[in-house]
Amino acid sequence: MTLKLSLETYEMTYGQLIDFADIARASGVDRNAPVEQVEDPQVPNIVERFELDVVQVPTSNVIIDASTAADYARALASIIHNEGDARAELETLREIYEALTSRI
């Protein structure tokens, strides 16, 4: 499935332009892919927005609730306390792995 990444040019900031490029880069878009310049239908020859087709849009944040994060921190503390021996925490490590891989 192809998604369309779009950036309106009206009052566009430099940061928004960089974010647009960063999302495109993280999505694996070819550097030579054309960026469509969509004109304003009301005002000829004025670019209203940039558009780019992307296959996937990456997420930049993985959100874990505080309770789950505390459980993960306890498991990591146990592993550290046991000098890297993680066998007692394998169940929690599997949960961490599943939670993270399902969100990226």
Are the C-beta atoms of 5 and 52 separated by less than 8 Å? yes
| 47-54 and 3-8 strand pairing | antiparallel
Mean pLDDT for the chain?
87
List Cβ neighbours of 20 (8 Å cut-off, separation of 6 or more).
5, 7, 50, 52
The pTM for the full model equals: 0.53
Give pLDDT tens digits for 46-60.
Answer: 999 999 998 876 666
Give pLDDT tens digits for 7-43.
Answer: 999 999 999 999 899 888 888 888 899 999 999 999 9
Q: Does residue 44 carry a pLDDT above 70?
A: yes
Domain boundaries, the chain: 3-54, 66-101
Name residue 67's amino acid.
Answer: S
